[in-house]
Amino acid sequence: MTVYNREEVLLQATNVQLTFDQHPILRDINFCIRNITRPGLLQGQVVTLIGRSGIGKTQLFKVLSGLQAPTAGQITIHNNKSVKAGDMGVIFQNYYLFEWRTVYQSLMLAAKKNKQLWGMEKQTIERYAEQFQLTEHLHVYPQQLSGGQRQRVSILQQLLKGSDFILLDEPFSGLDVCMIDKAVELLLQVSLSDELKTLIIVSHDIEHSVAISDTVFILGTEPGKEGATIKKEIDLIERDLAWRKDIRREKRFVETIEEIKACL
């Protein structure tokens, strides 16, 4: 049995609605993400928002990141502050990078935004680059990188900025099978870097995102109601399915995946 506590609220979605041309896309979205602690271990949160194609994941991603204002309701972080653009580290599906800057220049720009790194930017970049297997690629331009390398640079950029929340849109799409496994490992590594670090993954790749999460929120519709809402929350720690290597082969994991699919 895993010993853990879910403590203070880090992020709260309250009655979020999003309507386009009088058509509800998101309705009554209510959930909260709490700080998880494990005695003697550094542990951040990894939350997945799952839903079928077209349900509204990207719209919820935008609302969560402050890039899209909800029609009603709000997303609050730290001490009830409403989220605004720039509060969260955002990693888009295509790993957008500044093509005219070298990897190092982009990472330096990110590090300079983080007051806690002042004076230590270079050493921090070099330390992370080694950890993320990017040392040999620091002085090249993004077009000289593979998809997996671009993803690692994007994640590293957000880590250097010091954002407590990192939102990832479909982090496994466009990666081959080996790279997906590496991305899974990398995200787990990031979640172990700071107990206040929260990764929010928006994905339809159920298996890989659930394998690294502690909590899953399922976005879906309900009969007779237009717009998507959170249909179910699954606490994977309670089921003893979080923070475990090779979890995907376990019977209870497979059953949870089936349960999620049935809910979509």
Ligand X SMILES: Nc1ncnc2c1ncn2[C@@H]1O[C@H](COP(=O)(O)OP(=O)(O)OP(=O)(O)O)[C@@H](O)[C@H]1O
Distance of closest approach, residue 53 Cβ to ligand X, in angstroms: 4
Lay out the sheet containing 89-91: strands in order across. 89-91, 165-169, 198-203, 45-50, 215-220, 229-235
| Burial grade of 40 (CB within 10 A; 0-12, 13-18, 19 or more) | exposed
C-alpha to C-alpha distance for 170 and 241, rounded to whole angstroms: 21
Distance of closest approach, residue 5 Cβ to ligand X, in angstroms: 32
Token pair 């979205």 is found at: 29
Which C-beta is closer to ligand X: that of 108 or that of 264? Answer: 264
Distance of closest approach, residue 98 Cβ to ligand X, in angstroms: 25
Which C-beta is closer to ligand X: that of 109 or that of 257? Answer: 257
- Three-state DSSP state, 214: coil
Cβ(103)–Cβ(137) under 8 Å?
yes
C-alpha to C-alpha distance for 134 and 129, rounded to whole angstroms: 5
Which C-beta is closer to ligand X: that of 23 or that of 249? Answer: 23
Distance of closest approach, residue 56 Cβ to ligand X, in angstroms: 4
C-alpha to C-alpha distance for 166 and 212, rounded to whole angstroms: 15
Which C-beta is closer to ligand X: that of 78 or that of 204? Answer: 204
Q: Any bridge partners for residue 49, and if so which? A: 202, 217
Which C-beta is closer to ligand X: that of 37 or that of 94? Answer: 94
Q: For the chain, give percent helix, strand, coil, nearest 5.
A: 35, 30, 40
Which C-beta is closer to ligand X: that of 93 or that of 124? Answer: 93
Cβ(201)–Cβ(171) under 8 Å?
yes
Distance of closest approach, residue 177 Cβ to ligand X, in angstroms: 21
Distance of closest approach, residue 88 Cβ to ligand X, in angstroms: 17
State the residues that interact with ligand X by CB under 6 A. 20-21, 25, 51, 53-59, 204
